[in-house]
Amino acid sequence: MTRWLFYLLVFPGFLFTTILGLLIVWVDRKVSARVQFRQGPPLFQNFNDIFKLFGKETMIVKESARTVFVSAPIFAFGMIVLLATIVGLAAINRIGFAGDIIVVMYLMMIFSVAVILGGGSSGNVYSSLGAGREIKLLLADELVFILVCLIPIIQSGYKLRIDEILVAQESGVFIGSISGAIGFILGLLCIQAKMTLPPFHIPEAETEIVEGPFMEYSGPLLAFWKLSQGMMYVIYPALLVILFLGGFKWTGIGILYSVLKYLLIVVLMILIKNTNPRIRIDTALNFFWRIAAPICLIGVVLSVWGL
């Protein structure tokens, strides 16, 4: 019992992912600053931000649906902690259960649902607009993401467990095959959309709908959203490493190699984020349903043929 609590609260779960997530958000801000020829924030900037937010006043709008408004960020945070625990246990401790990859897909969707609930309940027009856009973005990227997840499942011989997918990659990583390469590239774009990073930051577009669903949140509740977003920076690229790049190894040169694989994906995401303008919601739907989904379907067929 205490072992599982330790897993949930300390090592792959809450504490580890939070601290790592805030450091990765610093990497994001620093790399973005260097792209714009700036100096960038100091290393512990995000910790200061979070501690500051926990000390601020919480304001609840009179028109808001109070219970949903308050519980949505905490609910989302809980979902992300659970997601971190499942992915971390499978990747590091090699403890999995049958169908955990399906649970992971669902938990990633539930986070978006929490964003929709939080934005929709706040009684603000811009927040509701943001929540509506989040629904459309979820509809756009969900199909492609499930198809992307199917490719490693099929290549590993129809195994629905993350640890068995990792075992199947010990002879050769999936990105080496044609279908694996297709899956990796589309998976990167899907993760960009799931984390609502540019060019897919349609729900929270700062310049038109002022942070969208998070607009009315202040103080500790906003801190929970920021923490969840930081933890997504850890989990989602790690999931891509697990599915296509052979996961993490913690012996000898493997440590350096694992960290490099992870940082490569993160920096690639940050560069995509910094070099692309925001696309419209219809462009995003068109892209995911008309272009990405057929290509990904071809990838799935190729992986059935063993290519």
Partner 1 sequence: MGWYKRRLAKSLWVFHVSGSPCNNCDIEILDLLTPKYDLERFGIKLVGSIRHADVLLVTGVFNQKVAPKIRKIYEQAPKPIFVVGVGTCMSGACCFRDSYNIVEDRQAVIPVDLYIPGCPPKPEAMIAAVAKLLGVLNARN
Interface with partner 1, residue 39, by CB under 8 A = yes
Which residues contact residue 135 at a Cβ distance below 8 angstroms, ignoring those fewer than 6 apart? Answer: 116
If the CB atoms of residues 217 and 262 are measured against partner 1, the closer one turns out to be 217
Interface with partner 1, residue 66, by CB under 8 A = no
Q: How far apart are the first and last CA of the chain?
A: 44
Interface with partner 1, residue 270, by CB under 8 A = no
Shortest gap between Cβ of 271 and partner 1 (angstroms)?
17
If the CB atoms of residues 124 and 169 are measured against partner 1, the closer one turns out to be 124
A 10 A CB-CB count for 89 gives 22
Q: Tokens 């799935």 belong to which residue?
A: 300
Which residue from 189, 160, 138 is spatially nearest to 296, judged by alpha carbons? 189
The angle, 0 to 180 degrees and rounded to 10, between the axes of the packed helices 125-155 and 100-120 is 170
A 10 A CB-CB count for 251 gives 6
Out of 1, 2, 36, 67, name the contact with partner 1 by CB under 8 A.
36
Q: What is the SS3 assignment for 179?
A: helix
Piece of the chain touching partner 1 by CB under 8 A; list 2-10, 36-44, 145-153, 244-252: 36-44
* CA-based radius of gyration for the chain: 19
Structure tokens at 255: 């440590």
Interface with partner 1, residue 41, by CB under 8 A = yes
Out of 8, 23, 27, 29, name the contact with partner 1 by CB under 8 A.
29
Shortest gap between Cβ of 32 and partner 1 (angstroms)?
9
User: Of residues 178-237, which lie at the interface with partner 1 (CB under 8 A)?
Assistant: 206-207, 210-211, 214-219, 222
Structure tokens at 8: 């949930």
If the CB atoms of residues 59 and 271 are measured against partner 1, the closer one turns out to be 59
A 10 A CB-CB count for 259 gives 11
Out of 40, 78, 123, 132, name the contact with partner 1 by CB under 8 A.
40
The site for partner 1 (CB under 8 A) is made up of 29, 33, 36-42, 45, 48-49, 51-52, 55-59, 206-207, 210-211, 214-219, 222
